[in-house]
Amino acid sequence: MRCFIAMPLPDPVCDRLEEVQKVLRAGRPVPRENLHLTLAFLDDQSAAVLEELHDGLSAIRVPPFDLRLAGLGVFGGSRPRVLHAEAEASPALSGLHRRVRAAARMAGIELPRERFRPHVTLARFGPSDAGMASAVAWAMRVHGGFTVAPFTIREFALLGSTLMPDGPVYEVLADYPLAFQAGAEWDNRAPEDV
């Protein structure tokens, strides 16, 4: 099963992202129910690997933290593939990302070595959208400064993805609430501050 680990977004945040999608009118908008921030894409995994991964993800102890979306970005350069809302990096988000990747590696999942660029995909572009570069450039100029007020991330999830003709359908396989570990203190300082 194709899987990924992501943070679901609160309804008010999805409301705001849908407003932006309506104004942009570019590409194929991601349906509201599929809006999320990916922590790790796992590709196809067996049930046995997912069970071991579940154990590792269940052991992650991170307190809830605030996240802010600010600005738009594009993946794909002059031939845009994805238009996204950018998430501001924070020590808490980076720490959760590292712990999730460590749990995946402990379960035997090989992950590509790439820089973490936290974002929420708003629209996708296919080969038939080749003429969208100017529309995307306009959207970036006019709406690139959009923001979403900080909101609290309280959980992350393991999701399965089934590819359908109209786009992927996601299924939540497991939820992982964020919480302090009993007796532990959270060090939320950036590594350079320690």
The answer to whether position 190 is within a domain reads no
Q: Domain containing 19: what range?
A: 2-159+171-178
Q: Which residues pair with 67 in a beta bridge?
A: 151
The answer to whether position 49 is within a domain reads yes
The answer to whether position 166 is within a domain reads no
The answer to whether position 98 is within a domain reads yes
The answer to whether position 164 is within a domain reads no
Which CATH number belongs to the domain containing residue 42 in this structure?
Answer: 3.90.1140.10
d(CA 119, CA 191): 22
Report whether pLDDT(185) > 90: no
The answer to whether position 191 is within a domain reads no
Q: What pTM, to 2 d.p., does this model score? A: 0.86
63 Cβ contact partners less than 8 Å away, ≥ 6 residues apart: 92, 178, 179, 180, 186
The answer to whether position 187 is within a domain reads no
Domain count along the chain: 1
Predicted local distance difference test score (pLDDT) of residue 155? 96
pLDDT digits (tens, 9 = 90+) for 70-112: 999 888 877 778 889 999 999 999 999 999 999 999 999 999 8
Report whether pLDDT(22) > 80: yes
14 Cβ contact partners less than 8 Å away, ≥ 6 residues apart: 32, 35
Report whether pLDDT(171) > 60: yes
Long-range contacts (CB closer than 8 Å, 24 or more residues apart) made by 11-19: 12/151, 13/69, 13/148, 13/151, 16/148, 17/69, 17/85, 17/120, 17/122, 17/148
Average pLDDT, the chain: 87
Residue 189 pLDDT class (50, 70, 90 cuts): very low
Helix (H, G, I), strand (E, B) or coil at 173: strand
Amino acid identity of residue 149, one-letter, is A
Structure tokens at 123: 């629209």
The answer to whether position 192 is within a domain reads no
